[in-house]
Amino acid sequence: MATIEAVQGFVKPCGTKFCLNGKPYFFGGTNFWNLHALNDDRGVTGSKAFIKNELETQAKKGVNVIRIFSHSDGRAGWRERHLQPRLGVFDEEALKLLDYTVATAGENGIRLIMCLGNYEPFTGGMQQYVDWVLGQGKDKELFYTNAKVKEAYKAWVKMLVTRKNTVNGRLYKDDPSILAFQALNEPHTRDMYEKSKGLVPGKMVLDWLTEMVAFIRGLGVQQMISSGEEGYKADGDVSAPHNNWINGGYKGVDFRGNIQKSGVDYTQIHAYPDNWGFTPDNYKSWYGPNFIKDRANIAFSYNKPIIVEEYGLALGREGWKGVSRDSVMDYVNKWAQDSGYAGSLIWEVKAGNKQHSQGYVFSYGEDGTNAVTRQYTWAKEKNGGSASGGGGSTTGGGGGGGGSQSEECTDIPPNNTYTCVQQAGWGKCKESWMRGFCLKSCNRCTTGGGGGGGGGGGTCTDVSPDKRYTCQQQGKWGKCSGSWMKGYCQKTCGRC
């Protein structure tokens, strides 16, 4: 069994893919929405032993990403502790469990997608914020538009994103154990909400998302930011004989507009053909080409990565009895892989021994295990044999004489359409989305002769890993020592 290594470096978008330490990064994993709150099979609340065992076991299975709901808002009656039991009141003991989860995940080579809020009410979410600020009986959609409600949400986000982890001492916004912060789980409106009021479908969510992405980014996060949306369109084809609500603005979400205008780093879909009214027969002909591949084409047209963030099959659902999870999951994964997705997260597989005969949740050994294991293997192979991905430096060292070239310097293009030689010939090396790609063709592998005057002929670059900040700022902040800075800011960091 391969050694599990702690995470190093931040995963970044590189065109239509992700990169880690200059190399493409893919993943397979699971959702475990309340892992940190803990609700284990014995009914124990707040057990670090459970969290540790779950993460260690998932890592050994091959998981490299887990998505959690890093929020819970005032829902009295749950047995879990709530992170925000009352507006503006944060439960420090519950937050310490979240700290422990983040730190332990990173130690086991697992990165977390941390969802900061929820459309659905089972974690409090949008309706709880509206009730807190405006009183009960108001539309939950006021979460998107009311200034006071938005400020309440921002206060929660700022507290969490800038929090210092009590276990590893890192600020959340500086911790590579966190793959991404997510604005909301499944942002949308109630059915036909905007259309019934003569409003433009999708604009409400888009405006809110644009504001919140800018706010989160303004807190100085080094991680990626995503929307958490499901893949609904406001401008899609509604001529199909079924399921036109996915495309016609029915849910108040503009998939294309969110990718193009909101500032997210990547996008995602949630894929539940059984829950969306398909039958075991008609999903096979429509769902892959018209949803999975179609959404990838849109994302790629704006040069953004895409993942399957939730998917699965609820065993026992009427009309789907006798259909295996493995078959549906294999179908989704095959379409996603062939369409260029960067990874997928099942909803949800757990490492515990509890058997789940119904619903979307299962344990290893039950139906679904084969498909999810195949996805882990696919990601590991795409990452060069490492579940955690990444690898070492993509540039040569400093040195005083002639330039040197790393054995790990790659020439991987951002997509399969054009070669690195073509990209370089067209002057694309200077584009921000080319960072981490085509290192050889873009002459980023060698460093020029340093103080000794000469040799080598390479180009010493001063490209920042994040276009929001200059290399001078990165150096001032002491970031040159970070493993994720290898290959970047060579001049400022004295590697020339």
Of 152-166, 307-321, 372-386, 455-469, give the range with the top mean pLDDT.
152-166
**Is a pLDDT exceeding 50 seen at residue 458?**
no
Q: What is the dihedral of CA 111, 116, 119, 124, to 10 degrees?
A: 120
- Over residues 411-425, the mean pLDDT reads 73
Least confident of 72-81, 179-188, 324-333, 406-415: 406-415
Alpha-carbon gap, residue 337 to 291, rounded angstroms: 14
Alpha-carbon gap, residue 326 to 311, rounded angstroms: 12
**Is a pLDDT exceeding 80 seen at residue 417?**
no
- Per-residue confidence (pLDDT) for residue 122, from 0 to 100: 87
Least confident of 4-8, 231-235, 357-361, 416-420: 416-420
- Over residues 401-420, the mean pLDDT reads 53
Residue 486 contacts residue 395 (beta carbons within 8 Å): yes
Residue 367 contacts residue 376 (beta carbons within 8 Å): no
User: What are the tokens at 174?
Assistant: 């500086």
Tell me if the pTM is above 0.95: no
For the structural domain made of 12-382, what CATH number should be given? 3.20.20.80
From residue 224, alpha-carbon distances to 59, 216, 220, 402, 496 in Å are 22, 10, 11, 37, 29
β-pair type (362-363, 306-311):
unpaired
- Per-residue confidence (pLDDT) for residue 451, from 0 to 100: 34
Closest CA to 223 of 273, 170, 282, 186: 170
pLDDT tier for residue 473 given thresholds of 50, 70 and 90? confident
- Per-residue confidence (pLDDT) for residue 24, from 0 to 100: 95
Instruction: Enumerate the domain spans of the chain.
Output: 12-382
- C-alpha Rg value of the chain to the nearest Å: 23
Alpha-carbon gap, residue 253 to 257, rounded angstroms: 9
**Is a pLDDT exceeding 80 seen at residue 402?**
no
User: Residue 69 burial (CB < 10 Å; 0-12/13-18/19+)?
Assistant: buried
- Over residues 269-274, the mean pLDDT reads 96
- Over residues 92-111, the mean pLDDT reads 96
- Per-residue confidence (pLDDT) for residue 357, from 0 to 100: 66
Alpha-carbon gap, residue 235 to 405, rounded angstroms: 49
